Structure 1
Amino acid sequence: MAQIPLWRQLLATAEVLHAIRNGASATPALAAVEGPLRPGVQSLVFHSLRNLGRAEALRAQLAKRPPPPAADALLCTALALAWQESDAPYEAFTLVDQTVEAANRGPAKAQASFINACLRRFLREREALVAATDRDPVAVWNHPRWWIQRLKNEQPQRWQEILQANNQHAPMTLRVNVRKTTPALIQSALAAINIEASLVGDSGLALARARSVQDIPGFSDGAISVQDAAAQMAAPLLLDGMDTRQPLRILDACAAPGGKTVHLLEIVPAEVTALDIDPIRCERVQRNLERQGLQATVLVADANQPATWWDGRPFDAILLDAPCTASGIVRRHPDVRWLRRETDIAQLARLQASLLRQLWPLVRSGGRLLYCTCSVFRAEGQDQIETFLAHHTDARLLPSPGHLLPRTWDLDEAVPDNRIRDNDGFFYALLEKNAT
Structure 2
Amino acid sequence: MDIRAIAARALGPVIARKESLNTALPRALEYCQENERALLQQFCYGTMRFLPRLERLAKHLLKKPFKEQDQDVYALVLLGLYQLLEMRIPAHAAISETVEATSQLNKDWAKGLLNAILRRLQREQDELLESLSEKEAFNYIHPQWMIAKLQHNWPDHWADILEQNNQHPPMTLRVNRQKTDQASYLQQLSDVDIQASATPYSDVGIQLKTPIDVSLLPEFDDGFVSIQDEAAQLSSDLLDLQAGQRILDACAAPGGKLCHILEHQPALDHVTAIELEDNRAQRIQENLQRLQLNAEVIIADAATKDWWDGVNYDRILVDAPCSATGVIRRNPDIKHMRQSEDIKALAELQLAILQNCWQMLKQGGRLVYATCSVFPQENERVIERFLKSQPDAQHLAIEADWGIERAFGRQLFPQPGGHDGFYYAVLVKDQN
Residue equivalent to 1:404? 412
1:318 maps onto 2:316 in alignment = yes
CA offset at residue 224 of structure 1?
0.8
Give the letter for the 2:292 counterpart: G
Give the letter for the 1:333 counterpart: N
Residue equivalent to 1:74? 76
Unaligned runs of 5+ in 1: 409-420
- Whether the aligned pair in 2 keeps the contact of 1:54 and 1:80 (CA below 8 Å) is no
CA distance in 1 between counterparts of 2:57 and 2:274 reads 46
CA distance in 2 between counterparts of 1:142 and 1:122 reads 18
CA distance in 2 between counterparts of 1:35 and 1:98 reads 16
1:266 to 256, 260, 263: 263
SS, match of residue 357 in structure 2: helix
CA offset at residue 38 of structure 1?
4.1
SS, match of residue 342 in structure 1: coil
CA offset at residue 280 of structure 1?
2.3
Give the letter for the 2:75 counterpart: A
CA distance in 2 between counterparts of 1:167 and 1:103 reads 29
SS, match of residue 252 in structure 1: strand
- Whether the aligned pair in 2 keeps the contact of 1:70 and 1:107 (CA below 8 Å) is no
CA offset at residue 152 of structure 1?
0.7
CA offset at residue 75 of structure 1?
1.0
2:336 to 335, 338, 353: 338
Residue equivalent to 2:376? 378
SS, match of residue 359 in structure 2: helix
CA offset at residue 405 of structure 1?
0.8
- Whether the aligned pair in 2 keeps the contact of 1:353 and 1:388 (CA below 8 Å) is yes
- Whether the aligned pair in 1 keeps the contact of 2:25 and 2:41 (CA below 8 Å) is yes
Residue equivalent to 1:387? 385
Q: TM-score, normalised by structure 1?
A: 0.91
CA distance 1:282–1:61, change in 2 (3 Å)? closer
CA offset at residue 107 of structure 1?
3.9
CA distance in 2 between counterparts of 1:184 and 1:122 reads 51
Residue equivalent to 2:147? 148
Q: Deviations over 1:369-408 (max 9, x none)?
A: 1111111111110111111111112111112352111121
Residue equivalent to 2:405? none
Residue equivalent to 1:276? 275
CA distance in 2 between counterparts of 1:49 and 1:294 reads 36
- Whether the aligned pair in 2 keeps the contact of 1:322 and 1:371 (CA below 8 Å) is yes
- Whether the aligned pair in 1 keeps the contact of 2:186 and 2:197 (CA below 8 Å) is yes
1:430 maps onto 2:431 in alignment = no
Structure 1 range deviating more: 382-391 or 65-74: 65-74
- Whether the aligned pair in 1 keeps the contact of 2:11 and 2:72 (CA below 8 Å) is no
CA offset at residue 20 of structure 1?
0.4
1:18 to 12, 34, 40: 12
CA distance in 2 between counterparts of 1:51 and 1:157 reads 24
CA distance in 1 between counterparts of 2:16 and 2:56 reads 19
CA distance in 2 between counterparts of 1:76 and 1:278 reads 32
Give the letter for the 1:260 counterpart: K
Residue equivalent to 1:416? none
CA distance in 2 between counterparts of 1:105 and 1:312 reads 57
CA offset at residue 63 of structure 1?
2.5
- Whether the aligned pair in 2 keeps the contact of 1:275 and 1:299 (CA below 8 Å) is yes
Q: Deviations over 1:195-235 (max 9, x none)?
A: 11111031100111111212101311211111000000011
1:103 maps onto 2:97 in alignment = no
Residue equivalent to 1:415? none
Provide the identity percentage: 38
Give the letter for the 1:195 counterpart: I
Give the letter for the 2:3 counterpart: Q
Q: Deviations over 1:212-267 (max 9, x none)?
A: 2121013112111110000000111112xx5x3x5011101111111111111111
Give the letter for the 1:52 counterpart: L
CA distance 1:323–1:167, change in 2 (3 Å)? same
SS, match of residue 331 in structure 1: coil
- Whether the aligned pair in 2 keeps the contact of 1:321 and 1:371 (CA below 8 Å) is yes
Residue equivalent to 2:175? 176
SS, match of residue 302 in structure 2: coil
CA distance in 2 between counterparts of 1:293 and 1:104 reads 48
SS, match of residue 78 in structure 1: helix
Residue equivalent to 1:189? 188
SS, match of residue 120 in structure 2: helix
After TM superposition, list the pairs within 5 Å mapping 1:351-362 onto structure 2: 351-362=349-360
SS, match of residue 314 in structure 2: strand
CA distance 1:150–1:217, change in 2 (3 Å)? same
After TM superposition, list the pairs within 5 Å mapping 1:28-47 onto structure 2: 28-33=23-28, 34-36=31-33, 38-47=37-46
Residue equivalent to 2:401? none
- Whether the aligned pair in 1 keeps the contact of 2:6 and 2:32 (CA below 8 Å) is no
Residue equivalent to 1:126? 125
CA offset at residue 67 of structure 1?
3.8
CA distance in 2 between counterparts of 1:175 and 1:32 reads 27
Residue equivalent to 1:210? 211
Residue equivalent to 2:402? none
Equivalenced residues, count: 410
Cα-Cα RMSD: 1.5
